[in-house]
Amino acid sequence: VSFTTPDGEELTTQAEAGETVLQVALENLIPGIIGECSGNLSCATCHVYVDDAWIGSLPAKSPDEEEMLENASEEPTASSRLCCQISITDALDGLHVRIPASQR
What burial letters (b/e) apply to 82-102, b meaning 16+ CB within 10 Å? Answer: bbbbbebeeebeebbbbbbee
User: 6 to 45, contacts with ligand FES by CB under 6 A?
Assistant: 22, 35-37, 39, 41-45
Per-residue binding string, ligand FES, 47-86, x by CB under 6 A, is ---------------------x-------------x-x--
Report which of 67, 63, 31 is spatially closest to residue 46, judged by C-alpha positions: 31
Q: Which residues bind ligand FES (CB under 6 A)?
A: 22, 35-37, 39, 41-46, 68, 82, 84
